[in-house]
Amino acid sequence: MEIYLDVLVLENIVMNYLILLMTAKFSKNKTSHLRLFLAAFVGAIYVAFLVVYPSLDVYYTTITKIAISFAIVAIAFSFQRFTAFFKTMVMFYISTFIFAGAGFAFLYFNHSGGFIRDGFFYVYWNSKWTVMVLCVATVGIIVKIFWEIIQSRLVKDRLLLPLKIAFENGIINLSALVDTGNALFDPLTHSPVIVVEFNAIKSILPEEIQNIFEESKEDDLVRVTKIVSNSRWFSRFRIIPFTSLGKENGILIGFKPDYIEIGDKNERKGVTDVIVGIYNKALSKGENYNALLSPDLV
């Protein structure tokens, strides 16, 4: 059987990258596409090395494979605590098992598709890309189903959370609802948007922005744009379109805070890559909460 080294490296880079991308989604560990690619490349080179030098049995051992997986995760992600690294490693193995299970299933149902040797899949050329495409499609469906289950369980267990917003010299403490319907993103930076009541956050806003909401002129796009563009906080503010909250084709005035903190003192999470959208009505009739959080931020 002929093995094309360049094709082997390419397909392993693609699969490793997708596994790491899934790991990032599950662990909510932020990284860059470059780091994911470099980590995927390291994994692909390891497989290619084993194909070129099959006699080096030491590199087939479980310890070596675990060490390589540790290196791949360390390259792909940044860590400040060992617990975060351990959590990401667990997610990495779960993602790997999902992809491997999907690949094995297609090999099982298609006996001419390939074989497994020394812990690696070898797929014949005439069915290689078919198996890869079907594998990725299957994994996508599995991940979507399990992600929705995880998110629904998360919302059920942690429905209301303390929220702290820091902006300039002001800090506001709020109660936020984890809202699965909040899928707002800033169109400029693609950062998730937290929807907050104006009255709850009024004290830390610039005076000219307060005037817009007190006069109920937040839907006047021309006026809003003019006021925001002339403000010294111009670089911090955003105009965010939305089609929720009982209104279609609406806009939210948003701003980039210095940082936010989600959760109590026992489990607190800090976030800087986020936008706060200001809503000029009450979000809760019973005043149980005054902000809406996206599940992606929890």
In whole angstroms, what is the distance from residue 28 CA to residue 226 CA?
Answer: 37
Cα–Cα distance, 243 to 240 (Å, whole number): 10
Q: What is the DSSP-derived secondary structure letter of residue 202?
A: G
Q: How far is Cα 262 from Cα 165, in angstroms, rounded to an integer? A: 9
Q: Let me know if 179 is a catalytic residue.
A: yes
SS3 119: coil
Burial 196-231 (b: 16+ CB within 10 A, else e): bbbebbeebbbeebbebbeeeebeeeeebeebbeee
**For residues 279 and 197, what is the distance between their CA atoms, to the nearest angstrom?**
5
Which of the residues 118, 179, 220, 296 is marked catalytic?
179
Active site residues: 179
